Structure 1
Amino acid sequence: MDIREKPFAEAGMLIRRPVADVFEAIVDPAITTKFWFTHGSGRLDSGKQVLW
């Protein structure tokens, strides 16, 4: 079998929440660890190094 095109994947999700709530859910590990990651060493703030 020959692969003629590069494999790709696409995903999407409709989120019915205010933008500020969604942003906070992504940058705050206290929220993100409830649905995405198991641990975060700190908030995702500009210039800050964190481990996930």
Structure 2
Amino acid sequence: MNHYATNRRWSDQFLPQIKRIVRCHLLETAPDPLDWHQTTDLLMLDARDMRIAA
């Protein structure tokens, strides 16, 4: 039996919820001057080679 495939199917069910949680920590509202002058509503955390294990 392929344990990886079984474990992957089980863990994949949690990915949508994890993505929703992480997204809240990666985006923030842009400060007013950026919105006014550069039409920027949201800023994303700028992290190089970010990896998340859950």
Q: TM-score with structure 2 length normalisation?
A: 0.23
Q: Which structure: greater strand fraction? A: 2
TM-score, normalization by structure 1: 0.23
Larger Rg: 2
The structure whose residues are more often helix, as a share, is: 2
Looking at both structures, which has the greater relative contact order when contacts are Cα pairs under 8 Å and sequence separation is at least 6? 2
